[in-house]
Structure 1
Amino acid sequence: MENVITQWINDFLCLLGFSTGAANTWDRWVTIALIVGVALLADFICRIILLKVVKKLVTKTKATWDDIIFDEKVMTKLCHIVAPVMIYFMFPIAFPKSSDLYTLVLKISEVYIIAVVMRFVMEFCQAVYFVYNENEKYRDRPLKGLLQTAQVVIFFIGGILIFSVLFDKSPGSLLAGLGASAAILMLVFKDSIMGFVSGIQLSANNMVRPGDWITMPKYNADGTVIEVTLNTVKVRNFDNTITTLPPYALISDSFQNWRGMTESGGRRVKRFINIDMNSVKFCSPEMLEKFRRISLLRSYIDETEERLKAYNQECGVDDSVLVNGFRQTNLGVFRAYLEFYLRSLSGVNQEMTLLVRHLQPTEKGIPMELYFFSSSKEWAVYEKIQADVMDHVLAVVPEFDLAVFQNPTGADFRMLKN
């Protein structure tokens, strides 16, 4: 077949007036030109006709994923494979297989085919990344790091194949040679290798993903993860600064992920005030009558008084001495009031833990802690809820004949002096 085509071109050149020697010289180059022309024509036809056909078929479907995967860039990269493949298989028509030019052209064609396939696969991976990144189910996954990892693997495999073609070595022997220089490679690509392994661990264990709020004081990171790549994790702090972390730092060091809070039913509020222990006392009948006028405490005061009187009468307690038997204190009534108050608020999640308790007394008084969860997890609303609660608590303390402990200030000393 090769000789027939070459001989036909040779005869055609002779008919055009070329001498026999000139025809023998130019027939191969004309054959090469025809081969290249046919290859370029095939590439043009694929890019014009095939792309239009595929584009029409894709637009008729309701799915959106095929619009991205069969994107013009992806299909263009695929069409570029046609020309070098045709040259690779048609070049023996022009030159015998034993010539140096034949070997050189085949090597160039093989290298070009490998490079084009690499670009196509990378573009295809990029398109698949866009498809999954647009999906709500996968948007919070570290897909960009996986994409970069895949691109590095493709580039590495393509590089091995290209060197095997250029140096006439099998890919296995080249990999064996690279094993001897593994220490140097690990030193050069240390960050990429550690980032790759860390990215797999972060993704497999679902430790962090875009959209998570993380806190890492060691790196001054306190904000939302906006990107997880092969070598970096970007965190947008609450002051809108960007902190860049290496992925392996999230594996080797400790960090706090607030995802559990955002996925739960509320955000925790844990505040306390110090009550002056000198203001704690038993409730007198006048105080109890005053507390009964508080709507949240009316039932509690009556039920508690009936229960305590029944117990004291059953035990024969002498009521003339206050320390005998059980009696209500203003601090206990205040604690009950705070619990009823929190349970009456719509901004407090009533299905999660809610309690008011005493902490260990100190030289600054007895801490009264409020422990509850707000219904809203939005930062501004959360801060407003706990601020409103603490405002009310501080304002209502004197109504129970209690005092908040506070270290003396300059105003206190001036008052003593006057």
Structure 2
Amino acid sequence: MQVREGLKDGIVFFEKLFKRHGMNEVLAEYMNMLINLVILTLVVIGVNYLIKRFIIGTFKTFTNKTKTTFDDFLIKSNFPRYVGRIVPLYIVYYFFPLIFSEFPRTLEIFYKLFNIYVVILVVWIFRSIIRTTRNYLKTRPSFNDKPLESFSQVIMIFIWLIGIMFIFSELTGKSVIGFAISLGAASAVILLIFKDTILGFVASIQVSVNDIVRIGDWITFEKYGADGTVTEINLATVRVQNWDNTFTTIPTYSLISDSFQNWRGMLESPGRRIKRSIYIKQNSVKFLTPEDLKKLKNISLISPYLENRQAEINKYNESHNIDKSLLINGRNQTNLGVFRKYADSYLHEHSAVHKEMYIIVRHQAPTAQGIPLEILCFSKDKRWENFEYISADIFDHLIAAIPYFGLQLFENPSGDDVRAVLESIK
């Protein structure tokens, strides 16, 4: 109490001095207030400098010696700077009423502005802690694929909402509860204004809870032209880096309202699917003669198969007295069937094909482009560039092997083909 009385005497020192030298009383009060305000400003600047120089510097030195990175993120989010403002703020709060004791209207405005600034400072401190927590969790492997950006934004919206309620209460003199009631009455307007934010918030929760999309997932979203890796998930948008290094932003709520393709299952599976068809000319398919079979037995991959299969067929034909003067009679092998077996054997022997997953060679219903011979298997290496190399290697070989079986690939006639026909007619 004595200290405060002593401070009051010190505050009016210049006022008494000016009055003793004959200055007008009102002018002496204003001059005293102005001088004290300048002194207070210099003191606050000095204290703020000392805090930055020593306290924050000490905090940085301490964080450099610790093993955890959490305190490093605290510095990056300006947490020590915001906390350091508490001491100068307290000095202003303590001395300002003494300086402006003769100016009640100014004090009233000061208290309002001071309280508003305290609310904003508290919000900044919480924001710093939330950003620090978010950035720290991003360094943890278990949180790499979680939409931390969305969660932090949602929390900040609630904190700012509470802060705005307190600021509104300070400006209007109404209670925070009264403001909340008014907010409830205007909920329809608020819902309209913040429709996208609310949809994004709901979508973020569903995306996280249902594990629909993670950061790092490869997704394809044709509606928005996205085909690449998810790099960021926040309250309003999902950011996708496409394979051509462009970026596409997708509304978060579209992930639950529209259909898209997530390739995570492929990346987590043992292999990546290869599914492609070769189109065979229908009129190149034929029964195999003994001469054809003799020639094909030189192909090592199918030589045992041909021996066993032909022995089985011959036994059947003989037991049923089949007239083989015509090749169509009885059971026969076809060049397409043998090639299909060759392709199957080749895939089973290929070192890059996953043997414990599906390996299927099948021909589908004939089309105007020929008979589709579909190859379905899985590559062991799921990396895109290696996957394409493996696919190309398989089909390079199969396409080159087709003529050995007397088969032909379907191909639309080119201009050279038409020209050759016309020249032959001439």
Q: SS state of the match for residue 331, structure 1? A: helix
Does 1:74 find its partner at 2:79?
A: yes
Does 1:345 find its partner at 2:350?
A: yes
Equivalent position of 2:261 in the other structure: 256
Deviations 1:260-312 (A, max 9, x none): 22222222211112223333333322222222211111222223234444555
Contact 1:85-1:109 within 8 A present in 2 as well: no
Equivalent position of 1:202 in the other structure: 207
Q: SS state of the match for residue 353, structure 1? A: coil
Q: Matched residues in 1 for 2:13 and 2:334: separation?
A: 119
After TM superposition, the score normalised by the length of structure 2 is 0.84
What is the Cα deviation at residue 34 of structure 1? 7.2
Does 1:320 find its partner at 2:323?
A: yes
Deviations 1:48-87 (A, max 9, x none): 3322332232222122222222448210111112222444
Q: Matched residues in 2 for 1:209 and 1:417: separation?
A: 64
Q: Which runs of 5+ in 1 are unaligned?
A: none
What is the Cα deviation at residue 22 of structure 1? 5.7
Equivalent position of 1:5 in the other structure: 6
Q: Matched residues in 2 for 1:14 and 1:140: separation?
A: 66
What is the Cα deviation at residue 407 of structure 1? 4.1
Contact 1:6-1:31 within 8 A present in 2 as well: no
Equivalent position of 1:137 in the other structure: 142
Q: Matched residues in 1 for 2:244 and 2:8: separation?
A: 78
Q: Which runs of 5+ in 2 are unaligned?
A: none
What is the Cα deviation at residue 367 of structure 1? 1.7
Which of residues 182, 185, 191 is equivalent to 1:186?
191
Equivalent position of 1:296 in the other structure: 301
Q: SS state of the match for residue 362, structure 2? A: strand
Contact 1:214-1:222 within 8 A present in 2 as well: yes
Equivalent position of 1:113 in the other structure: 118
Contact 2:218-2:230 within 8 A present in 1 as well: yes
Q: SS state of the match for residue 142, structure 2? A: coil
Equivalent position of 1:414 in the other structure: 422
Q: Matched residues in 1 for 2:101 and 2:15: separation?
A: 22
Q: SS state of the match for residue 78, structure 2? A: helix
Q: SS state of the match for residue 211, structure 1? A: coil
Which of residues 157, 170, 180 is equivalent to 2:175?
170
RMSD between aligned alpha carbons?
Answer: 3.3
What is the Cα deviation at residue 406 of structure 1? 3.5
Q: Matched residues in 1 for 2:262 and 2:140: separation?
A: 23
What is the Cα deviation at residue 88 of structure 1? 3.5
What is the Cα deviation at residue 352 of structure 1? 1.8
After TM superposition, the score normalised by the length of structure 1 is 0.86
Shift of the 56–415 alpha-carbon distance from structure 1 to 2, 3 Å rule, reads same
Q: Matched residues in 1 for 2:161 and 2:74: separation?
A: 23
Which of residues 216, 236, 245 is equivalent to 2:241?
236
Shift of the 417–93 alpha-carbon distance from structure 1 to 2, 3 Å rule, reads same
What is the Cα deviation at residue 122 of structure 1? 1.4
